[in-house]
């Protein structure tokens, strides 16, 4: 977990509202807030489970890792598509986030900036807005900014340098691949696809494992995601072994050599294809001068897939080859938490400038 020391000039008056950054993600939710002279990052799985209290008979709820570990058969990941799609998921998301915010002592008297996906889903975004408004925090100010912009803030220097620049950001999330050119914070020519995602990689890994083991092993997507996060590495992948319980008793030990790396290799190829042949031509057709300028600036990768060791360099090499033009690609430290950390910096600027 990344905690950052606050500079002296960043320290806020004790009477000022607390600046908070939040990313409600499909797999993980991140909350960032100052505590003393340290900006702390809190992270949990975006899930909730309910159970009946054996003493009182009341329904109670647990969230995050506790819910996933103790109630795996009925835990709800209510934002699997990136947004709460219906009233039931919105209600579950509100319960989850209220418990998470209270557990981390987020004050009601706060300025809260949310990093949200750039998805053309009016109902889902409306439901997310309701979850945010009902959270009981952000009484001073609530604002939302694109996830890829917030995630780029920690990648492009101190403060809010990203807001003053012209660049391309690509969000490699679980549910969508998003790309956008930004001009001093303004979105230009946004692009999103659900066909190249972290969740798709998990499905590919599961299918590859079945094929590599000649049908002897079937894993679920949660296990596939764990393989990806624990063993995915473009720089130094090492084959690994696992053990499963067989029907009727006994265990089966197996070794994975290609399933994870092949899925990751396919992901980078398909992501490069979407950016080079869909997003960038669209940008060039609309803003040719901006297009040329952005290719001379670092392209920022954000989102969970950017955490895979070596992926940023691999993406840079393959995109440069596809475009026949050398480009520079970068990523923030700890991409999973970067959007919430960037959102917190924006919230802090609102507080510093008394704009709330």
Burial class (CB in 10 A: 0-12, 13-18, 19+), 66: middle
Helices (H), 112-174: 122-133, 147-152
Q: If residue 88 lies in a helix (H) or strand (E), which one and from where to where?
A: helix 87-103
What are the φ/ψ torsions at residue 354 (nearest 5 degrees)?
Answer: 55, 40
Q: State the Cα–Cα distance between residues 298 and 289, nearest whole angstrom.
A: 16
Determine what percent of the chain is predicted with pLDDT higher than 90: 73
Q: Is pLDDT of 12 > 60?
A: no
Q: If residue 228 lies in a helix (H) or strand (E), which one and from where to where?
A: helix 221-231
253: Cα separation from own chain's centroid: 33
Q: State the Cα–Cα distance between residues 302 and 331, nearest whole angstrom.
A: 6
For the stretch 174-232, pLDDT in tens is 888 999 999 999 999 889 998 999 999 999 999 999 999 999 899 988 899 999 999 99
Mean pLDDT across the chain: 91
Phi-psi region of 87 (alpha: psi -120 to 50; beta: other; left: phi over 0): alpha
Q: What angle do CA 112, 100, 70 make, to 5 degrees?
A: 155
- Paired residues of 191 in beta bridges: 179
Q: State the Cα–Cα distance between residues 283 and 139, nearest whole angstrom.
A: 38
- Whether residue 181 contacts residue 286, with contact meaning beta carbons closer than 8 Å, is answered with no
- Specify the pLDDT at position 4: 64
DSSP 76: B
Neighbours of 141 (CB within 10 A): 16
For the stretch 322-342, pLDDT in tens is 999 999 999 999 998 999 999
Its pTM stands at 0.87
**Which single residue is written with the structure tokens 């949990």?**
44
Q: Is pLDDT of 54 > 50?
A: yes
Compute and round to an integer the Cα radius of gyration of the chain: 21
Q: What is the torsion angle, in degrees rounded to the nearest 10, for the CA atoms of residue 150, residue 20, residue 305 and residue 63?
A: -150
Q: State the Cα–Cα distance between residues 202 and 83, nearest whole angstrom.
A: 19
Of 282, 270, 266, 283, nearest in space to 319 by CA: 270
Q: State the Cα–Cα distance between residues 114 and 343, nearest whole angstrom.
A: 6
For the stretch 149-187, pLDDT in tens is 999 999 998 889 999 999 999 999 888 899 999 999 999
DSSP 6: P
Q: State the Cα–Cα distance between residues 27 and 300, nearest whole angstrom.
A: 21
Three-state DSSP class for residue 137 = coil
246: Cα separation from own chain's centroid: 35
Q: Is pLDDT of 105 > 90?
A: yes
Phi-psi region of 220 (alpha: psi -120 to 50; beta: other; left: phi over 0): beta
Q: State the Cα–Cα distance between residues 163 and 243, nearest whole angstrom.
A: 49
Q: State the Cα–Cα distance between residues 336 and 292, nearest whole angstrom.
A: 29
């Amino acid at each position: 977990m990344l905690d950052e020391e606050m500079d002296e000039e960043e320290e806020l008056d004790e009477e000022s509202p607390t600046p908070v950054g939040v990313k409600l993600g499909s797999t993980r939710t991140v909350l960032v807030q100052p505590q003393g002279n340290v900006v702390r990052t809190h992270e949990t799985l975006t899930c909730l489970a309910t159970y009946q209290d054996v003493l009182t008979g009341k329904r109670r709820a647990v969230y995050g890792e506790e819910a996933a570990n103790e109630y795996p058969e009925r835990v709800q990941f209510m934002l699997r598509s990136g947004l709460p799609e219906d009233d039931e998921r919105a209600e579950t998301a509100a319960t989850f986030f209220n418990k998470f915010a209270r557990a981390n002592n987020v004050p009601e008297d706060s300025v809260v900036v949310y990093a949200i996906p750039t998805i053309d889903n009016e109902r889902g975004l409306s439901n997310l807005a309701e979850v945010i408004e009902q959270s009981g925090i952000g009484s001073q100010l609530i604002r939302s900014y694109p996830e890829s912009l917030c995630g780029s803030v920690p990648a492009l220097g101190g403060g809010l340098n990203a807001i003053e620049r012209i660049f391309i950001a690509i969000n490699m999330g679980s549910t969508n691949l998003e790309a956008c050119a930004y001009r001093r914070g303004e979105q230009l020519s946004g692009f999103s696809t659900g066909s190249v995602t972290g969740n798709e990689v998990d499905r590919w890994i599961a299918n590859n494992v079945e094929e590599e083991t000649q049908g002897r092993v079937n894993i679920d997507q949660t296990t596939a995601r764990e393989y990806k996060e624990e063993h995915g590495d473009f720089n130094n992948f090492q084959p690994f072994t696992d053990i499963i319980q067989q029907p009727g008793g006994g265990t089966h030990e197996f070794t994975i050599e290609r399933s994870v790396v092949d899925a990751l290799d396919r992901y980078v190829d398909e992501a490069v294809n979407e950016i080079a042949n869909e997003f960038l031509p669209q940008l060039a057709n609309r803003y040719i001068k901006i297009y040329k300028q952005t290719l001379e600036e670092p392209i920022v990768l954000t989102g969970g897939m950017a955490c895979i060791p070596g992926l940023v360099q691999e993406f840079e090499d393959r995109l440069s080859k596809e475009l026949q033009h050398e480009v520079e690609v970068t990523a923030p430290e700890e991409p999973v938490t970067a959007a919430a950390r960037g959102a917190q910096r924006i919230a802090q600027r609102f507080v510093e400038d008394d704009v709330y």
